[in-house]
Chains A and B, each alone.
Chain A
Amino acid sequence: MSEIAAGEGDTKGALPPLSRFSDWSDRNFKWLLVAPAVLLILALSVYPLLFSLWVSFVNYDFQIPGHAFVGLKNFEQVIADPVARWSLVLTAILSAANVIIEFLLGLALALAMVRNFPGRGLAMSIIIVPLFISPVIVGQAWALLLQRPFGPTDYILSRIVGHDVTISWLTQSPWIYFSLILADVWQWTPFMFVILLAGLTAIPPNLYEAAELDGVNAWQAFWSITMPYLRPMILLAVTFRLLDTVKLFDTIFIMTGGGPGTKTYTASFYLYTVGFTQFHLSQATAGSWIFLVLTAAIVGLLVRRLLKAEPT
């Protein structure tokens, strides 16, 4: 395309068909630029979604030729499945816990890092490292630390409390959730931190000076200056993190494999298992539509609030 356009520059108007083409491409320039990306998204995102809508209403099976229409049966099967319902509850619990802990820790860290100190650049570089690591490796690393009896965690805890600690972090029921949250907090607190730090540095410092002259204490200044200014950034960080954490899959796959039993099935893990290890493709697609609609509803609410908060 650009070669033709480049050739046109030398032979101004000499070749009518070429110049007509380049006129056309100049006139539709902006649409030609977006066309390839839009076509690719249509082919690999919109078309598969529509296709999956069809799959969720038929009985799609590799072994059986022809796909019989079964109506809402696939959806009913998912809704009737207690494991599916549990996976949604677990996804909600883990997401809430992850986002709340990451937010509080990220905010504390951003407040601590906002003023300059020697070594700040190096500290920044280290703190953001988890963002560049595959969640699979994060899961692997925490599994190594928490593994019983060889991992060092129980040993260190034993030393601290003075008696033997024998917690199976990766197989024992309440601790396993703690481990999954720990890995997620490790990976994503830096995300909150970076966004909140950007928000904090954007607050004009003279506001604090004025507040100090008025005799306002640090706590009041935090609530009446920092928080209102930070609000859009907080909403942004929380929205993005929530959008990602509901997809939680990789660390579960490596750390617990969904176990013990089905206790750590998140929505994504449940759908993956139904679709790709049991090969109930239609049921999994129906489930993924339910999941998609639920997430879209939450996303819609959050994004609308986000857009409202933007003009400040």
Chain B
Amino acid sequence: MTTQAKTRRRRRRAVPIGRILLIGGFIVFVLAPLYWMFVTSIKPSDDYLAVPPVWFPSEPTSVHYTAALFAYRGLKGLINSLIISLSATVLSAFLGTLMAYSLARFNTGGAHLSFWVLSQRFLPPVAIVLPIFLIYRNIGLHDTHFGLIIAYTVFTLPVSVWMMFAYFRQMPRSMEDAALVDGCTRWQAFWQVAVPLAAPGIVAAAVFAFIACWTEFFFALVLTSRYAFTLPTVFRAFLGFQGAQYGEASALAIVSLVPSIVLGVLAQRHLVRGLTLGAVRG
């Protein structure tokens, strides 16, 4: 009894310190690579080779940013990434809304259809990208924006559908029923009543689709080459030249981090639902 009370007292004192160390330590762990990448991106090239390492450059420079964007076609990649990610996001959100609404309101196709859509999320990209590559080559879609856009649309659809499914299912159907009684068609009730009400869910799903497209590498690597390449594939240019292109690679990384981190942190509240594909009532 006394020993138990003692251990409890000891634990109560020990726990906060352990908590602080754990949380603080993990935050340092998260920030360290980001900090080092940022510092590398503004270091003059001589500082890379310095031992001990230069923790903060005395003369920060922006030459690597210019080089990464122009000499390594980072700007072209950035523009391509924007075009492709935005288009795929809009398409995925649009088609996902239609499907999610149908699944949530009418239980279309029962559990089979919804499970089938979800199962697409589990396909390994290698299994699917090889045949897509061959098909694209045959029909002239290889290395086109459009080809990557529809590939990304399909690849983000399962998550979009499941996020919005969770959203529509929570929405009371009484508003749409009232619209139908007032003489609206099903389509009007959908567009004018259900979609505006679901707007926050649709936006959250779209944010996740955008981040998924923006950070995707494998499809872009295989399905594009000289023309429709995206930002993550530009990093190939920095491989093999050990040491020389650290600054450019870091600068480009910093540039491409910004949009997805800003959007991601803004959509933080919807994170759990997005990560668990709506399977959890979170």
| Chain A residues packing against B (C-beta within 8 Å) | 1-2, 5-6, 8-9, 12, 22, 25-26, 29-31, 33-34, 36-38, 40-41, 44-45, 47-49, 51-52, 55, 60, 105, 108-109, 112-113, 117, 123-138, 140-142, 144-145, 147, 149-152, 155, 186, 189-191, 194-195, 198, 215, 217-218, 233, 236, 240, 243, 246-247, 249-250, 253-254, 257, 267-268, 271-272, 275-276, 281, 284-285, 288-289, 291-292, 295, 299
Contact = CB atoms under 8 A, between A and B. Distances in A.
A138 B215 CA distance: 11
Given A113-B23, A194-B271, A30 B30 contact: no
Contact of A247 (B125, B183, B185, B242): B125
B105 interface: yes
A109 B18 CA distance: 11
B162 to A, nearest CB: 12
B172 interface: no
B122 A132 contact: no
B166 interface: no
A132 B263 contact: yes
B215 A123 contact: no
A194 to B, nearest CB: 6
B175 to A, nearest CB: 17
A235 to B, nearest CB: 11
B253 A112 contact: no
A253 B216 CA distance: 13
A236 B118 CA distance: 14
B241 interface: no
Given A36-B98, A257-B239, A272 B126 contact: yes
B146 interface: no
B130 A52 contact: yes
Interface in B44-89: 48-53, 55
Contacts of B99: 33-34, 36-38
Query: Chain A at the B interface: mostly helix, strand, loop or mixed?
Result: helix
A240 B276 contact: yes
B268 A124 contact: yes
Query: Chain B at the A interface: mostly helix, strand, loop or mixed?
Result: helix
Interface string B250-264: 100100110011011
Contacts of B185: 5-6, 8-9, 22, 25-26
Contacts of A271: 126, 130
A185 B153 CA distance: 28
Given A48-B128, A60-B134, A195-B272, A25 B187 contact: yes
B261 A129 contact: yes
Given A30-B106, A132-B261, A288 B23 contact: no
Nearest to B138: A51
Nearest to A28: B186
A5 B192 CA distance: 12
Contact of B123 (A12, A45, A105): A45
A51 B261 contact: no
Contacts of A128: 264-265, 268, 271
B217 A288 contact: no
A113 B16 CA distance: 11
A134 B279 CA distance: 25
13 contacts: A12-B183, A30-B105, A34-B98, A34-B103, A37-B98, A48-B131, A129-B34, A136-B217, A141-B34, A141-B37, A142-B33, A151-B53, A288-B124
Contacts of A125: 265, 268
Contact of A37 (B157, B214, B268): B157
B132 A44 contact: yes
B130 A281 contact: yes
B227 interface: no
Given A55-B134, A108-B22, A141 B27 contact: no
Contacts of B26: 105, 109, 127, 189
B101 A236 contact: no
Given A33-B102, A198-B280, 17 more contacts: A9-B188, A29-B102, A30-B105, A30-B106, A36-B95, A44-B150, A105-B26, A109-B22, A113-B23, A128-B264, A132-B264, A152-B55, A194-B272, A249-B217, A268-B124, A275-B126, A281-B134
